[in-house]
């Protein structure tokens, strides 16, 4: 402290405690403190309250169900190229979070992870032979996560199961000069849960779009409207 006697004055600690609690949304006034023992008592109380606020915060996080969301974005486009998926995301509002394929968060490396500064439109190329892309009998799948906070998955974050299906051979006329194998590609986007530990979504409740071509567009507002009209 500022006193040469070395005595400890907790005023600044009280002030720090108040700042911390104020940041957590706990606001109250402390009357003028008459002596050091009162200050120490208040500081002890602040420590207890701050610890309790942390407990509540952690409890809130653990109880939070993320779930799939149709909010925050206008559409997601998928194009199935020869060796990668091209994804384009159109956000409703300015976005400065992160996008990544599931399992790529820890390494934070391109092309599987992008830290976005600002904007409404983002693209990402996901290789079939990387970024945790799964290949089962020429059906390539991956999950793309759109996360607002750089560290935490929160409600409002989105995820999409992307699929490029090259498993069906194309009907090529016998007199054709084509000698290489040609496949009919089917592209598909299914809404997923951004939380990797989330409960599985029943098949009937999954929002999805499928197109018998190399491109497909997932537009939640249109899909929900057409479901309501059924």
pLDDT digits (tens, 9 = 90+) for 3-15: 444 444 445 545 5
Sorting pLDDT into bands at 50, 70 and 90, what band is 34? low
What number is the average pLDDT over the span 33-40?
Answer: 58
pLDDT at 47: 64
Q: What is the mean pLDDT of the chain?
A: 79
Share of the chain above pLDDT 90, in %: 50
More confident: 124 or 203 = 124
pLDDT tier at 26 (50, 70, 90 boundaries)?
A: very low
**Rounded to an integer, what distance in angstroms lies between the CA atom of residue 166 and that of residue 127?**
15
Structure tokens at 220: 């939640």
Instruction: Write b or e for each residue in 117-136: b if 16 or more Cβ atoms lie within 10 A of its Cβ, otherwise e.
Output: eeeeebebebbbeebebeee
| Residue 29 pLDDT grade (very low, low, confident, very high; cuts 50, 70, 90) | very low
Residue with token string 């249109």: 222
| Cα–Cα separations (whole angstroms), residue 38 to 19, 20, 50, 145 | 19, 20, 18, 50
Token reading at 229: 């009209």
pLDDT at 135 over 90: yes
The single residue listed with the structure tokens 């006329």 is 173
User: Would you state the pLDDT for residue 200?
Assistant: 80
Supply the DSSP symbol for 103: T
Residue 225 — very low, low, confident or very high, per pLDDT cuts 50/70/90? confident
Half-sphere exposure (Cβ direction) of 124: Cα atoms closer than 13 Å? 26
* Residue 28 pLDDT > 70: no
The predicted model gives 183-195 an average pLDDT of 91
* Rg of the Cα atoms in the chain: 26
pLDDT at 117 over 70: yes
pLDDT band for 36, please (50, 70, 90 cuts).
low
pLDDT at 39: 62
Q: What is the pTM of this model?
A: 0.67
Least Cα distance to 167 among 212, 119, 122 occurs for 212
CB 77 within 8 A of CB 217: yes
């Amino acid at each position: 402290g500022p006193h040469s006697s070395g005595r400890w004055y907790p005023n600044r600690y009280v002030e720090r405690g108040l700042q911390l609690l104020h940041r957590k949304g706990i606001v109250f006034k402390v009357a003028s403190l008459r002596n050091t023992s009162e200050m120490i008592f208040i500081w002890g109380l602040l420590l207890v309250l701050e610890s309790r606020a942390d407990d509540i915060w952690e409890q809130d996080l653990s109880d939070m169900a993320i779930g799939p969301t149709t909010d925050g974005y206008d559409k997601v486009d998928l194009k199935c190229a020869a060796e990668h998926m091209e994804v384009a995301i159109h956000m409703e509002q300015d976005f400065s979070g992160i996008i990544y394929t599931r399992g790529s968060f820890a390494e934070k490396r391109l092309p599987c992870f992008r830290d976005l500064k600002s904007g409404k439109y983002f693209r990402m190329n996901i290789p079939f032979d990387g970024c945790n892309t799964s290949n089962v009998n020429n059906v390539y799948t991956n999950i793309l996560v759109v996360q607002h906070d750089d560290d935490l998955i929160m409600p409002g974050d989105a995820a999409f199961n992307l699929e490029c299906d090259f498993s069906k051979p194309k009907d090529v006329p016998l007199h054709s000069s084509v000698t290489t194998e040609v496949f009919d590609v089917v592209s598909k986007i299914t809404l997923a849960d951004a939380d990797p530990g989330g409960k599985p979504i029943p098949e009937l409740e999954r929002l999805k779009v499928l197109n018998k071509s190399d491109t497909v567009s997932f537009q939640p507002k249109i899909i929900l409207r057409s479901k309501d009209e059924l």
